[in-house]
Amino acid sequence: MNKAIKKIPISSLFVLIVLALSCVWVDEKFPSKQGPILSEEINYKKDFTQYAYQNYAFASIAITNGNYKEAEIYLKEALKYDKDSPYLLIKLSEVLVENGKIEDALNFAKKTVDLTPDDLKAQEFLAEIYSQLKKFDLAISQYRGILKKDPDNREVRLHLSTLFIRLKKYDLALNQLSILTKNEPELTIAHYYKGRINLELKEYNRAKEAFLKVLEINPRFLPALFDLATLFDKTANVDMEIETYKKIVLLYPNNTIARERIIALYYKVGQDEFAEEHMDEMKKILGPGDLKRKRLGLIYLKYGKLSESIAELTSIVSAWPDDQEARYYLGAALEENGDFDKAYQNLNLINPDSSYFVDARMRMAYILERQKKSDKAINLLKKTINHKKENPQLYLMLA
């Protein structure tokens, strides 16, 4: 949802303050603190509107400073003097949203809409509140009501589309998105959403068409590039998947996610030299011990590059000794490389609360078996079970 509150420009704030000051009677002292002008302090013969403006001016200052709790106090006080002001009501509703009081915000937004049935912005805000409260039918009804009055309202139609997507009502979402792209053929986000929906529905040709349209409009649109690569993965088109990731790293050289994937793909198809080129680029981007380099160690391990995997993961656990994933896979790499003692030492450091604990203990038992230490292996597995780490495989190993 768009931010409900926007900072008030200094020029507008100045006008508000001048207006507030101009309303103060000559014999009244300006408050020494910016406290609300309490209703009981007011001479009821005076015009209440001036005090509504004063409290609103102070609320505006509070909003500008990001103090929404204080703004709430001022706006509530302002409404005592102008209780049916749609502007004050919607502003208080926006502030209540910022303060996490969504149900309270709903009441003030509904009152605003009742007072100003032609205010489409207020209706849109009410729909957003309904959506936050998961009152989706009411939100949809509100959005549809706005579109009947203003069918060309792009923002509202997009909100309605995303709400349908959220509810997995894909046909309804696609209908709204088609209206948007018909009205605005270059509306990137609408084409992108159409692609995402069709990808979810496994309508791969339609998804591809939508993503290519996005990239025709904006060749650097990163989400569409990644989703297009995902589409090629799902349709087993490895060559095009590689080409798409190559395009990403060409446009965004420091995008480590794309580089990780292209490395894995090159290893998968046996083009190790290209994988190593991207590995070298990754190492230039990420220094030794950078936690993101853990992925390199895991990729090396997956494709049997044990020495390289051990080097990367050793660097990670040296810098991040509590990283259980890196520690576990370092132990696994060492075990596969035949260095059982070091493997056992690392696996033994896995925390009992870690999700890797049971697997680590099973690997340790295998190591003990290989070292002809069957009694120790059995005791280790029994201790693991007694540690309330039950796993069917543990019992199978003991059988």
Highest mean pLDDT range out of 3-7, 41-45, 237-241? 237-241
Q: Are 112 and 127 in contact (CB under 8 A)?
A: no
Please state the φ and ψ torsions of residue 32, each to the nearest 5 degrees: -70, -25
For residue 39, the model assigns a pLDDT of 52
| Residue 8 clears pLDDT 90, i.e. is over it | no
Tell me the Cα Rg of the chain.
Answer: 31
| Residue 44 clears pLDDT 70, i.e. is over it | no
For residue 289, the model assigns a pLDDT of 87
Over range 290-319, report the average pLDDT. Answer: 95
Amino acid identity at 313: L
Domain edges within the chain: 1-99
Task: Output b/e per residue, 108-146; b: 16+ Cβ within 10 A.
Answer: bbbbbbeebeebbebbbbbbbbbbeeeeeebbbebbebb
Q: Please report which confidence band the pLDDT of residue 112 belongs to, taking 50, 70 and 90 as the band edges.
A: very high
Task: Compare 12 and 101 and report the one with higher pLDDT.
Answer: 101
For residue 380, the model assigns a pLDDT of 85
* Count of all residues that appear for the chain in the document: 399
Over range 242-270, report the average pLDDT. Answer: 96
pLDDT tens across 332-378, in order? Answer: 999 999 999 999 999 999 999 999 998 999 899 999 999 999 888 88
Q: Please report which confidence band the pLDDT of residue 7 belongs to, taking 50, 70 and 90 as the band edges.
A: very low
Distance between CA atoms of residues 362 and 350, nearest Å: 12
| Residue 24 clears pLDDT 70, i.e. is over it | no
Structure tokens at 149: 């009055």
pLDDT tens across 181-192, in order? Answer: 999 999 999 999
| Residue 270 clears pLDDT 80, i.e. is over it | yes
CA nearest to 367, candidates 377, 375, 357: 377
Structure tokens at 143: 């959005």
Over range 387-396, report the average pLDDT. Answer: 53
For residue 385, the model assigns a pLDDT of 77
CA nearest to 87, candidates 62, 122, 117, 58: 122
Residue with tokens 């986000």: 189
Q: Are 113 and 122 in contact (CB under 8 A)?
A: yes
Q: Are 190 and 158 in contact (CB under 8 A)?
A: yes
CA nearest to 269, candidates 310, 233, 231, 293: 233
Distance between CA atoms of residues 80 and 101, nearest Å: 20
Average pLDDT value over all residues in the chain? 87
Longest dimension (CA), the chain: 99
Percentage of the chain exceeding pLDDT 90: 74
For residue 22, the model assigns a pLDDT of 39
pLDDT tens across 319-334, in order? Answer: 999 999 999 999 999 9
